[in-house]
């Protein structure tokens, strides 16, 4: 046992270098290896300063005890320092990624898009920066947890709002649909940078759980999302929200569900027992989503279809193709689609960036409304998750600006004219 626990500086240095290299650029984009590649590469690619600080402090401690003595020790130190360089480069390019969030908005919305967006703000406070414990953020903004449907464990929602927001504020509303491969779907702690950013600016946000696989079967997931929209339309005014201005967002599986909900408003077959409820939205912001459940072309597609067959749909693909077609957001693009802001990372090893490109292109080809597509260089899956991550901060700002631009245009149409 003592031999197993003795310091192994060269092995440790090789692991640190491999982790940094994977964060710098995913080492696999095909097959099931993409899952551990994402699991290790995602936090490294977004929180590289913490990894760098921890590695430097650890190296100082180990150096004092003599771990870097001798030839193997010196090689280990060199490899560790190369890992430091990669971690520093990751952070620098993350900080420099801001234009990739802003330029697509400017190109589609016009040079004055920020000025227009600012007109909608109910109020402005400070900008959230830094690394914040997620539980403290939740306690600051989550007023209450409600049940929006009949399923006690699967139909819970957190209401995010500022404590000083008036009950009659008629504030814009955002529904956040969590990701998790249709099999996790936890509302906590997903999208906290975005939710707190919007709540701080006077929005009311609703973050939901929904029924997940394998315990539940498609289309239970989308039924719950639509049920949440119906609940919001009926009840959100009690929390200061405007039931006539409800937008939707989500990442990964939440990107799929939010885009599908936006493109299939008031669809009776997915609204059992509440067929007459209004489930339309004024805008959608899907982030690194799966929009096609049918195509077998592209990286990881066959593994994805197998996953759906076994755990989500639970029916053979070939004999039930229509179910998979109906579940594909890309098959529901329509001329009257609401404004869309689609974001995807170029280094996404879970859902390749081609899926975002294809969905944006298909939507642009038919929609008469605004479609913004932002492709973020070097970004891995779940790039918007962490406080302190530059890309999480830029995502929150860009999404808020887009939604505020939509809200300002909505207000210009609905405000009474001064000469009326």
pLDDT of residue 185: 77
| Confidence at residue 256, expressed as pLDDT on a 0 to 100 scale | 98
Half-sphere exposure of 24 (CA within 13 A, CB side): 15
Other CB atoms within 10 A of residue 345 CB: 29
Q: What is the pLDDT of residue 418?
A: 45
Which residues are annotated as catalytic?
252, 348, 381
| pLDDT number for residue 419 | 45
pTM for the structure as a whole: 0.93
> Regarding the domain delimited by 98-414, which CATH topology (the fold level of the hierarchy) does it fall under?
Rossmann fold (3.40.50)
Q: What's the confidence (pLDDT) of residue 247?
A: 98
User: What averages of pLDDT result for each successive group of 10 residues across the chain (420 residues)?
Assistant: 63 94 87 82 90 94 89 93 96 96 97 92 52 69 94 94 94 97 87 93 96 97 98 98 98 97 97 97 98 90 94 96 97 98 96 96 98 97 88 96 96 67
- List the domain boundaries for the chain: 2-95, 98-414
């Amino acid at each position: 046992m003592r031999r197993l626990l003795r310091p192994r500086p060269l092995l440790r240095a090789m692991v640190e270098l491999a982790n940094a290299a994977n964060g710098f650029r995913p080492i696999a984009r095909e097959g099931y290896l993409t899952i551990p590649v994402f699991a290790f590469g995602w936090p490294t690619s977004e929180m590289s300063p913490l990894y760098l600080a921890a590695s430097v402090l650890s190296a100082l401690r180990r150096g004092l005890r003599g771990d870097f003595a001798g030839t193997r020790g010196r090689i280990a130190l060199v490899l560790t320092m190369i890992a430091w360089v990669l971690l520093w480069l990751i952070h620098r390019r993350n900080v420099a990624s801001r234009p990739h969030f802003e330029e697509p908005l400017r190109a589609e919305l016009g040079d004055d898009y920020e000025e227009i967006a600012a007109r909608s703000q109910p109020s402005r406070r400070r900008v959230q920066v830094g690394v914040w414990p997620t539980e403290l953020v939740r306690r600051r903004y989550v007023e209450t947890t409600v049940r929006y449907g009949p399923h006690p464990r699967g139909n819970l929602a957190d209401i995010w709002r500022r404590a000083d927001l008036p009950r009659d504020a008629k504030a814009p509303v955002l529904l956040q649909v969590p990701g998790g491969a249709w099999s996790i779907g936890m509302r906590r702690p997903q999208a906290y940078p975005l939710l707190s950013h919007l709540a701080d600016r006077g929005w009311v946000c609703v973050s939901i759980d929904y029924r997940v696989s394998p315990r539940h079967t498609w289309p239970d997931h989308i039924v719950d999302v639509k049920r949440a929209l119906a609940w919001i339309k009926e009840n959100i005014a009690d929390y200061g929200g405007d039931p006539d201005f409800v937008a939707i967002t989500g990442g990964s599986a939440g990107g799929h569900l939010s885009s599908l909900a936006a493109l299939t408003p008031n669809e009776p077959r997915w609204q059992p027992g509440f067929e007459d409820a209004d489930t339309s939205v004024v805008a959608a912001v899907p982030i690194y989503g799966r929009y096609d459940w049918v195509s077998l072309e592209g990286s990881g597609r066959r593994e994805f279809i197998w996953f759906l067959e076994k755990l989500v749909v639970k029916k053979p693909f070939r004999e039930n193709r229509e179910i998979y077609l109906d579940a594909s957001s890309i098959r529901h693009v329509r001329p009257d689609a609401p404004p869309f802001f689609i974001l995807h990372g170029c280094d996404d090893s879970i859902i390749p960036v081609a899926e975002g490109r294809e969905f944006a292109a298909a939507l642009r080809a038919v929609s008469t409304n605004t479609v913004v597509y932002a492709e973020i260089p070097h970004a891995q899956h779940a790039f918007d998750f962490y406080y302190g991550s530059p890309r999480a901060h830029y995502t929150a700002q860009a999404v808020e600006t887009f939604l505020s631009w939509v809200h300002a245009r909505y207000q210009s149409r609905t405000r009474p004219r001064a000469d009326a």
